């Protein structure tokens, strides 16, 4: 039309020819623009996947995260990795789950790792690419902003960069958290144990107010008290989402299992092969049994408060309030016992 208006096309050209030419030109332009856009989108998605920017577990979404999941890269499903002494392992230290004892135990056996490095800077998220890490080393930290966001190589190179954690049952974790917060004055000193465990609203609001007036340098002291402790640290929001996140962990150990007492033993086999002598003993560094003595020595009525808390009704209500917490724990426990049987028991027979 423009050419016709400018006089470049004869005035007597039939209208249908002019319309057909114009339509063809428009269609060719649309096809070319679509092709260029698709190339741009593929390049952008590849770059985001390599950086780990779209990892769902690091997004603060509400509800069932359907919108977030639609944009999530393909999930890395859990599978039994072959032992690789050259792989770098990342220990997601979940508070009050014997993480400090695990770090000490791993450092105690030189053959276990080519260095145990703590990288716990909390002003995140930080991107630690790990290019200068020694093969076979272990990196540890709390990583409140999310392990996958901090270390995108866990997704892009899962054979050489593997993530693991150690957990304990929700009841024991929250009890330990209460006494820890009490000892370091992260909560009001007269906070009632039962109300704390059952997340009584007035008590929780009182704790938040206390914290806002008494800031602490520890990030986990400034977090709001939440139900479902494990999902809070795994960054997952419902059962299906938690299943996806847990599948990205190469190994999850569970404390206090009589038939599988040392969570670092299956990890050692996954990391270095079947060298039992090089397995750190986590229980040798655990200090949970000293807590009661320390508290009683400071005049705390530990036994009386625990007796008042530990009733069938309180345990039942706690389980109801923390249903997703127990779902995550039960799933991790089943997986841990399967790993123990596959990696430890079968090789003892």
Do 309 and 199 belong to one domain?
A: yes
Q: How many structural domains compose the chain?
A: 2
- Smallest CA-to-CA distance from 252 within 145, 163, 138 is with 163
Q: Give the pLDDT of residue 68.
A: 37
Do 42 and 130 belong to one domain?
A: no
Residue 62 located in a structural domain:
no
Do 43 and 176 belong to one domain?
A: no
Provide the percentage of residues in the chain whose pLDDT is more than 90.
43
pLDDT-derived band at 108 (thresholds 50, 70, 90) equals very high
Kindly give, in sequence order, each residue whose CB lies less than 8 Å from that of residue 142, ignoring residues fewer than 6 positions away. Answer: 92, 93, 94, 95, 120, 122, 219, 220
- Smallest CA-to-CA distance from 72 within 80, 84, 64 is with 64
Residue 171 located in a structural domain:
yes
Residue 59 located in a structural domain:
no
Q: What is the pTM of this model?
A: 0.75
Residue 103 located in a structural domain:
yes
Do 328 and 289 belong to one domain?
A: yes
Do 43 and 75 belong to one domain?
A: no
Do 30 and 103 belong to one domain?
A: no
Joined tokens for residue 48? 């985001």
In this prediction, residues 118-133 reach a mean pLDDT of 59
Domain span including residue 46: 2-51
Contact between 271 and 85 (Cβ < 8 Å): yes
Q: What is the pLDDT of residues 243-301, one digit of tens each?
A: 999 999 999 999 999 999 999 999 999 998 877 777 899 888 876 555 555 655 555 67
Residue 57 located in a structural domain:
no
Q: What DSSP assignment string belongs to 294-338? A: HHHHTT--HHHHHHHH--HHHHHHHHHHTHHHHHHHHHHHHHHHH
More confident: 193 or 290: 193
More confident: 252 or 123: 252
Do 11 and 83 belong to one domain?
A: no
Helix (H) or strand (E) segment spanning residue 35: helix 15-51
Residue 56 located in a structural domain:
no
pLDDT-derived band at 62 (thresholds 50, 70, 90) equals very low
Q: Give the pLDDT of residue 149.
A: 85
Do 169 and 45 belong to one domain?
A: no
SS3 content of the chain, % helix, strand, coil (to 5): 55, 5, 40
Do 210 and 313 belong to one domain?
A: yes
Do 228 and 281 belong to one domain?
A: yes
What distance in Å separates the CA atoms of residue 138 and residue 130, rounded to the nearest whole number? 11
Among the listed ranges 105-109, 192-196, 270-274, which one has the minimum average pLDDT value?
A: 270-274
According to the per-residue pLDDT averaged within each range, which of 41-55, 277-291, 302-316 is highest?
Answer: 302-316
Q: Give the pLDDT of residue 10.
A: 57
Do 36 and 83 belong to one domain?
A: no
Q: What is the pLDDT of residues 150-191, one digit of tens each?
A: 888 899 888 899 999 999 999 999 999 999 888 888 899 899
Among the listed ranges 20-29, 62-71, 87-96, which one has the minimum average pLDDT value?
A: 62-71
Q: Give the pLDDT of residue 70.
A: 37
Average pLDDT of the residues of the chain: 79
Joined tokens for residue 71? 């944009």
Among the listed ranges 25-34, 132-141, 144-153, which one has the minimum average pLDDT value?
A: 25-34
Asked if the model's pLDDT at residue 336 lies above 90, the reply is yes
- Smallest CA-to-CA distance from 150 within 115, 193, 177, 119 is with 119
Contact between 118 and 141 (Cβ < 8 Å): yes
* Length of the chain, in residues: 349
In this prediction, residues 114-140 reach a mean pLDDT of 72
Residue 187 located in a structural domain:
yes
Query: The domain spanning residue 110 has which CATH number?
Result: 3.40.50
């Amino acid at each position: 039309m423009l050419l016709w208006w400018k006089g470049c096309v004869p005035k007597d050209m039939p209208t249908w020819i002019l319309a057909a030419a114009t339509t063809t030109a428009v269609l060719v332009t649309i096809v070319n623009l679509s092709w260029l856009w698709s190339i741009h989108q593929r390049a952008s998605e590849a770059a985001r996947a390599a950086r780990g920017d779209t990892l769902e577990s690091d997004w603060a979404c509400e509800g069932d995260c359907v919108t977030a999941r639609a944009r999530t890269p393909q999930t890395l499903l859990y599978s039994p990795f072959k032992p690789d002494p050259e792989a770098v392992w990342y220990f997601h230290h979940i508070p009050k789950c014997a993480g400090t004892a695990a770090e000490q135990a791993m450092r105690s056996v030189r053959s276990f790792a080519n260095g145990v490095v703590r990288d716990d800077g909390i002003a995140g998220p930080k991107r630690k690419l790990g290019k200068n890490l020694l093969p076979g080393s272990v990196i540890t930290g709390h990583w409140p902003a999310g392990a996958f966001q901090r270390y995108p190589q866990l997704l892009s190179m899962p054979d050489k960069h593997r993530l693991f954690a150690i957990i304990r049952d929700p009841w024991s974790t929250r009890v330990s958290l209460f006494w820890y917060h009490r000892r370091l004055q992260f909560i009001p000193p007269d906070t009632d144990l039962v109300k704390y465990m059952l997340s009584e609203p007035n008590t929780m609001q009182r704790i938040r107010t206390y914290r806002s007036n008494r800031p602490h340098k520890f990030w986990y002291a400034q977090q709001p008290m939440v139900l479902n402790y494990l999902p809070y640290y795994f960054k997952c929001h419902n059962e299906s989402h938690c299943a996806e996140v847990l599948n990205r962990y190469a190994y999850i150990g569970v404390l206090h299992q009589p038939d599988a007492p040392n969570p670092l033993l299956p990890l050692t086999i996954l990391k270095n092969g079947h060298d039992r002598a090089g397995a750190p003993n986590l229980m040798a560094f655990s200090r949970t049994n000293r807590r009661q003595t320390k508290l009683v020595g400071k005049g705390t009525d530990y036994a009386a408060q625990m007796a008042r808390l530990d009733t069938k009704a309180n345990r039942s209500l706690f389980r109801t309030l923390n249903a997703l917490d127990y779902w995550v724990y039960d799933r991790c426990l089943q997986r841990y016992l399967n790993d123990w049987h596959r990696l430890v028991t079968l090789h003892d027979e």
